[in-house]
Chain A
C-alpha cells in the first residue's frame, strides 16, 4: 500500500532562514506528488505538484520541491521564510491506475512556525 511519511510534526525556523520540510513516499512506481498548505480554520491550498516533466517543481509563494526517485523523496523548500508562511503543510501522493487516478493519500502534516 502507498504511504507518505513527513519527518517532523513541528518545524521552527527564523524569519529569513531556509525552510525544509521533508516528505518520503513508498511506492514501487513513482506516483503523482503534491504539497498542500493549510492555514488555521481554512481548507487546503495547493502549493505545487509533481508532473514528471521536471524533477524540480516550482510552486506558489516561493516554494519549490525536488523529486528524487532514488530516495523516494519530495522535500519542500523555500530559501527565505516569511512570517506568513506559518501554517501546516501536507505532502500527498496519488496513484495512477492506468489512467484512472486514485484518491489522495496524505502525510500527517508538518506545522511550520516562523520566529521573528
Chain B
C-alpha cells in the first residue's frame, strides 16, 4: 500500500505570496491532519479534515487554511506569506472510526517551505 504523499517536496516563495501544498493520504484513510515543524516551535498541529469537513483546528492565524476533497486528498493554503512561515509542513492520514480504537497517524515526507 502506498504511503502518504506530499507535493511539492520543496518550495521557495517570497514574502506576501501565497502557497498551496497537497497531500494524498493512504488509500482508504479518510482523515488528514496537517502539522507545522520549525526548529523553534517544534511540531504544531494546524488542522484536521475528515469527510471534507474541518474537524479540529490549531492555534494558527486565518492565513492558514485547508480543504479536503471527496477522494480524501487535502490541500493547505497559506496566504500573505511571512518569513516565519518557513517550515516543514507535514501531512498525516488515519482511517478515523467513531469507535474507541486508537488510531495511528501515518506521516508523509513533508513539504519544506522557505520564505525569502
> A residues touching B (Cβ–Cβ < 8 Å)?
32, 34, 36, 41-46, 49-52, 90, 92, 94, 96, 99-109
Contacts and interface: CB of A to CB of B under 8 A. Distances in A.
Contacts of B45: 103-105
Contacts, number: 57
B104 A46 contact: yes
Interface string B73-97: 0000000000000000010100010
A45 B108 CA distance: 9
Contact of B43 (A46, A101, A106): A106
Interface residues of B, number: 25
Contacts of B99: 99
A115 B84 CA distance: 34
A44 B102 contact: no
A107 B44 CA distance: 10
A32 B102 contact: yes
B104 A49 contact: yes
A57 to B, nearest CB: 11
B2 interface: no
- The winner among B43, B45, B90, B103 for most chain A CB atoms within 10 A is B43
Contact of B107 (A45, A101, A105): A45
B27 interface: no
A103 B42 contact: no
